[in-house]
Structure 1
Amino acid sequence: MKLRSLFVTLALAFLLVLLAACGNAEGNDNGEESGNAEGGNSEENADSGGGTTEVLVDGSSTVFPIMEAVAEESQTENPDARVNIGTSGSGGGFEKFAAGETHISNASRPIKEEEKQAVEDAGIEYTEFEVALDGLSIVVNQENDWVDQLTIEELNKMWSVDGNVETWADVREGWPEEEIEFYSPGADSGTFDYFSEVVLGEEGQIRQDASLSEDDNVLVQGVTGSPNAIGYFGYAYYAENTDKLKAVPIVNDNGEAVTPSQETVQSGEYNPFSRPLFIYVKHEALQDESVYNFAKYTLENVGRAAEDVGYVAKPDSDYEQALQTLDEIAGQ
């Protein structure tokens, strides 16, 4: 009996110890899980910027270098700011703008009527701001030593689907009988639209064998890679590659052959390829502090940024007026 009593006593003691240990373990597990969850949520909230809106910008690859420079400066001064800039081309940018996917749309041409209609149909109110000037540049390879200038008529003949131009000799007598390689921005690009309107007219179509790309750096590489190539894009991409490319002087409406530069673009002497550059800002988005701050920072600094990357600034008074308009829209 004594042995049985001792066994029962020991068994009960062991059971009590086991139950106590399980209780402590459950308490510890619950405490640790609760603490980890709270800590994890706090870190996630900090990483997300406390609800900071990511400013979404898309559109023209020509305007991109300007807006990229502005965004980098803005984020240096405001580390919590988040700005995402795409390069879908002016047309592609307006499609995203109408779909409500962006707050700001960059464009190297004014918005078209059908694009206006799409934006209006989506119930989106917006304002257009001119941010800089550009000189669309016609470029050839550095080894090209025969093209001294081109007229709009010659460009039409070269780039038109009906121009029947295959070699440089087909453009002008005395030029080499070497096949020309053509490089152009893609059809969604505002630069493509502008060039087509000026050179080919409303009914004209670009030649089918031209290599098209929405990435201007691809066009630069194409022209630098062949002595018989020709292409066109915004002035900033030429200015970055003057050691590899030659800008072709274009005969203007006064009969003068003019090379693109900040001076000739600002004066309008480099015509018909001097043009304004734009951003389109969604009114409703300006109610968000992040979007408003970035739009304001852009208009305050875009002139300097434009010149830093090779474009031409507007007069200071134009930016001051734009800032007043922005504040009126935002209710500031």
Structure 2
Amino acid sequence: MAPSHDAETQGITRRKSLAAIAGAGALAIAGCTETEGGDGGSGDDGSSGDDGSSGDDGSSGDDGSSDGSLSGSINIAGSSTVFPLMSAVAEDFAADNPDVSIDISSTGSGGGFANFFCVGETDFNNASRPIKEEEEELCAENGVEYIELVAATDALTVVVNNEADWIDSLTTDELAMIWESDAVETWDEVRDEFPNEEIDRFGAADTSGTYDYFIEAILGESGHTSDYQATEQDNTIAQGVAGSEYAIGYFGFSYYFQNPDELKALGIDDGDGPVEPSLETAANGEYTPLSRPLFTYPSIESLGEEHIAEFARYFVEQTTNEDLVAGDVGYVPATDEIQEEQMQILEDGIEQAQG
């Protein structure tokens, strides 16, 4: 049985634990292997082999230990937004499969595709937007086939400092004025009643799917300003905004959900009045245009290894787990219908991989 999601682990709630993991930007879950002479699929440091690929760098050749249980390594990179969800699922899977080592890195969607997944070095790439044409081409050049799986729904969240009592919401046009390539410099240029103070911006790096989605949803052809502090780490954005009364930032809803007292989330007015980000408004479609689907992309070749195929099945099974997806992580779970569709896509991919 996977651990209960309302239990505390060593006095720290699951939500706080995930927040700490997200801040670190990496998670290595090592299998507790006690078999002498075997590595159980994990390296000395609990991660997999040198190049992050599976199969020939530390995973077991037959995907199972001597007693028939699963063993091997799984390597995952990509979106910082999907990272806490994948981490929660991986922790629970590893609890039931201690001979499987899972290494997850928060590299950004684009960084994961370009530097790891599409060059054959990881088994999954998490993404907070669909794969791009140039990434598809890079994967094809390197013979990397994949499937796309929907993981959850996110509400991209715009935040300001808790002391900023002069602002509660922005229209989408005002948000664009702050973040477009030819951005305004002071708050009173956005709205007359705002203070005549310079805007401090903190946001996603250009390797991030969150960055790409923000351009698509808010900025369009006007592009994204370069006058901001860019990072792949949500906690770095949060620290920057918390440090300045006149700062603004944006990231996935999960970080805000896990740390609601650190910052103020703004309502976004898309023409029908301000709507604040929440699980409810993302699920019912009211939080436009910043609610978005999240994805993970497993490699078909990797799905040929039984421990990876079983992990992928477990991941899809958990996408409807309200306690985990909503309660622990802070995203909107998939519907039963979407889960069924995704499981069929996955099973087709596994059949292709395993013959």
Shared fold per TM-score greater than 0.5: yes
Q: Displacement, 1:53?
A: 2.6
Alignment match, 1:43: 36
Alignment match, 1:233: 251
Question: Which blocks of at least 5 consecutive residues in structure 2 are unaligned?
Answer: 1-34, 43-58, 61-70
Runs of 4 or more, structure 1, over 4 Å off, are: 46-50
Alignment match, 2:281: 264
Deviates more, 1:150-159 or 1:68-77: 150-159
The Cα RMSD (Å) is 1.6
Larger radius of gyration: 1
Q: Displacement, 1:207?
A: 2.2
Q: Map of 1:228-307 to 2, 5 A cutoff?
A: 228-252=246-270, 254-304=271-321, 305-307=324-326
Q: Displacement, 1:46?
A: 4.7
Q: Map of 1:18-167 to 2, 5 A cutoff?
A: 43-46=36-39, 48=41, 51=60, 52-95=71-114, 96-163=116-183, 165-167=184-186
Checking the alignment, whether the CA contact within 8 Å between 1:62 and 1:108 is kept in structure 2 is yes
Q: Aligned equivalents of 2:112 and 2:229: distance in 1?
A: 21
Checking the alignment, whether the CA contact within 8 Å between 2:110 and 2:209 is kept in structure 1 is yes
Equivalent in 205, 210, 215 of residue 191 of structure 1: 210
Equivalent position amino acid for 2:106 in 1: T
Q: Displacement, 1:192?
A: 0.5
Equivalent position amino acid for 2:245 in 1: P
When normalised by structure 2's length, the TM-score is 0.78
1:168 aligns with 2:161: no
Give the number of the structure whose residues are more often helix, by fraction: 1
Identity over aligned residues, as a percent? Answer: 46
Alignment match, 1:21: none
Residues 143-172 of structure 1 deviation map (CA, whole Å, 9 limit, x = unaligned) = 111112111111111112313x22211111
Question: Which blocks of at least 5 consecutive residues in structure 1 are unaligned?
Answer: 1-41
Checking the alignment, whether the CA contact within 8 Å between 1:64 and 1:85 is kept in structure 2 is yes
Q: Displacement, 1:255?
A: 2.0
Alignment match, 1:215: 233
When normalised by structure 1's length, the TM-score is 0.83
Q: Aligned equivalents of 2:299 and 2:80: distance in 1?
A: 20
Equivalent position amino acid for 1:43 in 2: E
Q: Aligned equivalents of 2:314 and 2:306: distance in 1?
A: 12
Alignment match, 2:4: none
Secondary structure of 1:276's counterpart equals strand
Q: Aligned equivalents of 1:213 and 1:44: distance in 2?
A: 42
Checking the alignment, whether the CA contact within 8 Å between 2:319 and 2:334 is kept in structure 1 is no
Checking the alignment, whether the CA contact within 8 Å between 2:80 and 2:232 is kept in structure 1 is yes
Checking the alignment, whether the CA contact within 8 Å between 1:70 and 1:302 is kept in structure 2 is no
Checking the alignment, whether the CA contact within 8 Å between 1:135 and 1:265 is kept in structure 2 is yes
